[in-house]
């Protein structure tokens, strides 16, 4: 049993969690907060300590914790005695959710769209998307990208760039083929001058090559901004070329907007930056207004699967649809995508300003309020002569932020990217405070001050 500690203290609960929960737990290890209350971007632990939350449920909490429009939607739903769980039966709330969602989509996609409600995780929705395109095309190969992240189920794990979680698991989904993602700071093609055309030509040449070893793909899946991969945005021109290539070769294009959808990148949907329209759009996180919900929106021509081809007990989460409606309307009415773009520019300016003081901040990138700062070791280089990622210093910065009451996540190669996913309603003053804490944390990690 737990050692003797003051009952109901943070340490007491952490000990109990370690005693009873799985060894696979993650956030609770590196950011050991025991949450008692949450409001806006603030968490309060059981000992009364407050934290600023720039993780936000890994991008789920678009409006922060317990936003009034979300709380009101929950209360109204309960007061009206509406159902909470309906499998795939329809309801007035579900019908309104679909209408509002379709109205928010790019017109070309919405005009020909079908929707599949999935189990409430992004992983399940990505699995459904893969199943959909394999069924519709009769093919088996799936193209993904290095650095990609689409979930932790058997199929999506096979398409993950990060080797850590997948290396210990045997017999993952076969016929997954990886392509280089246009990562400007660390060009995987090894050329000195970054040019996104190199990446699109690589893909086109590979698909034209009868000796490529890749059978005609059933689909291609990508993120417009790689999240877990380190907040890496793809160039708009590259994405337009990928859309041209996949259309020409009749390869269904799946865009995973689980983390970017509903305003995160400065547009309601990240695909709007480039103007492309995918065949399949995967959504989760923000669309449930902080509650679990996931959907696949796709072109009606792909609707070849049979009844029962993809199910899921909790695909009828009515409360999440109600909070999703409230969240989407608030986002659109208050033009939060444009606000996120302005606040993202402000945060990026703060971080770039820190580069003058800390040489170990190698790159600042992202879109909207999906920002990453890559930490490097200025004394080491990789095989191509680029500064090496410094995951150890990134972890120290994360811990120094945590000590000062700020929660941020890490991602990217070697966990060397500081990731910022604050609520889209963060104020300028709050953002300045976040940046100030990051600066203090960077200074606390020691040397590698810029030399000019």
Secondary structure of 232-256 in HEC code, one letter for each residue = EECCHHHHHHHHHHHHHCCCCEEEE
At residue 379, the 3 state secondary structure works out as strand
Query: Among 355, 374, 347, which Cα is nearest to 183's?
Result: 374
C-beta separation of 300 from 113 below 8 A: yes
225 neighbors 147 (Cβ within 8 angstroms): no
Element (H, E) at 420: strand 417-420
pLDDT of residue 449: 52
pLDDT at residue 105, rounded to an integer: 98
User: Are the CB atoms for 319 and 342 separated by under 8 Å?
Assistant: no
Please identify which residue in the block is written with the tokens 């398409």: 159
* SS3 assignment, position 172: coil
* Mean pLDDT, contiguous 10-residue spans, the chain (452 residues): 68 92 91 95 96 96 98 98 96 98 97 96 97 98 97 94 91 94 90 86 95 96 97 97 98 98 98 98 97 98 96 95 98 98 98 96 98 96 88 98 98 97 98 98 79 35
Query: What b-and-e string marks burial along 352-386, b requiring 16 or more CB atoms within 10 Å of the CB?
Result: eebeeebbbbbbbbbbbbbbbbbbbbbeeeeeeee
Residue 452's pLDDT is what? 29
Please, which residues have CB within 8 angstroms of residue 349's CB and are 6 or more apart in sequence? none
Separation between Cα atoms, residue 156 and residue 276, nearest integer Å: 24
CA–CA distance, 293 with 273 (Å, rounded to integer):
25
Q: What is the pLDDT of residue 314?
A: 94
What is the 8-class DSSP label of residue 44?
E
Contact assessment for residue 186 and residue 223, using Cβ atoms and an 8 Å cutoff? no
The contacts of residue 416 (CB under 8 Å, 6+ apart) are 230, 374, 375, 376, 389, 390, 391, 393, 394, 410
Taken in order of first residue, the domains within the chain and their CATH numbers are 10-60+336-444 (3.90.1150.10), 71-333 (3.40.640.10)
Distances from the Cα of 103 to the Cα of 61, 108, 321, 332, angstroms: 22, 11, 15, 11
Radius of gyration of the chain (CA): 22
What does the pLDDT read at residue 2? Answer: 46
| 219, burial (CB in 10 Å: exposed 0-12, middle 13-18, buried 19+) | buried
SS3 147: coil
Q: Rounded CA gap, 313 and 413, in Å? A: 36
Q: What is the per-residue pLDDT for 149?
A: 96
The C-alpha torsion from 138 through 200 and 153 to 227, rounded to 10°, is: -150
């Amino acid at each position: 049993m737990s050692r003797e500690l003051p009952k109901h203290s943070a340490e007491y609960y952490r000990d109990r969690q370690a005693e009873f929960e799985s060894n696979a737990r993650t956030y609770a290890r590196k950011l050991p907060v025991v949450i008692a209350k949450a409001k806006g971007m603030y968490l309060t632990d059981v000992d009364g300590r407050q934290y600023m939350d720039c993780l936000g449920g890994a991008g789920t909490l678009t409006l922060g914790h317990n936003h009034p429009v979300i709380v009101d939607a929950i209360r109204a739903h309960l007061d009206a005695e509406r159902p909470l769980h309906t499998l795939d039966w329809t309801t007035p709330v579900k019908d309104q959710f679909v209408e509002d969602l379709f109205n928010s989509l790019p017109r070309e996609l919405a005009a020909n769209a079908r929707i599949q409600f999935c189990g409430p995780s992004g992983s399940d929705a990505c699995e459904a998307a893969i199943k959909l395109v394999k069924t519709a095309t009769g093919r088996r190969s799936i193209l993904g990208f290095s650095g990609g992240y689409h979930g932790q189920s058997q199929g999506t794990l096979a398409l993950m760039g990060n080797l850590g979680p997948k290396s210990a698991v045997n017999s993952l989904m076969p016929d997954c083929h990886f392509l280089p993602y246009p990562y400007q700071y660390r060009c995987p093609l090894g050329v000195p001058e970054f040019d996104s055309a190199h990446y699109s030509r690589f893909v086109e040449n590979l698909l034209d090559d009868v000796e490529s070893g890749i059978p005609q793909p059933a689909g291609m899946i990508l993120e417009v901004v790689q999240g877990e991969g380190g907040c890496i945005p793809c160039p708009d021109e590259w994405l337009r070329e990928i859309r041209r290539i996949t259309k020409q070769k009749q390869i269904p294009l799946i865009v995973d907007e689980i983390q970017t959808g509903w305003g995160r990148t400065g547009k309601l949907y990240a695909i709007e930056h480039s103007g492309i329209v995918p065949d399949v759009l995967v959504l989760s996180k923000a669309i449930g207004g902080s509650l679990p919900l996931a959907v696949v929106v796709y072109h009606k021509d792909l609707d070849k699967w049979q009844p029962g081809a993809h199910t899921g007990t909790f695909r009828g989460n009515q409360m999440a649809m109600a909070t999703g409606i409230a969240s989407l309307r608030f986002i659109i009415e208050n033009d939060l995508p444009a606000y996120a773009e302005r606040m993202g520019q402000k945060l990026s300016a703060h971080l770039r300003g820190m580069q003058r003081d800390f040489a170990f901040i190698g790159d600042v990138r992202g879109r909207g309020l999906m920002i990453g700062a890559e930490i490097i070791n200025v004394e080491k280089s990789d095989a191509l002569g680029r500064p090496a990622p410094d995951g150890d210093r990134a972890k120290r910065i994360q811990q120094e932020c945590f000590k000062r009451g700020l929660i941020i996540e890490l991602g990217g190669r070697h966990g060397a990217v500081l990731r910022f996913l604050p609520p889209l309603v963060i104020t300028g003053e709050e953002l300045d405070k976040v940046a100030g804490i990051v600066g203090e944390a960077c200074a606390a990690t020691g040397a590698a001050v810029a030399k000019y």
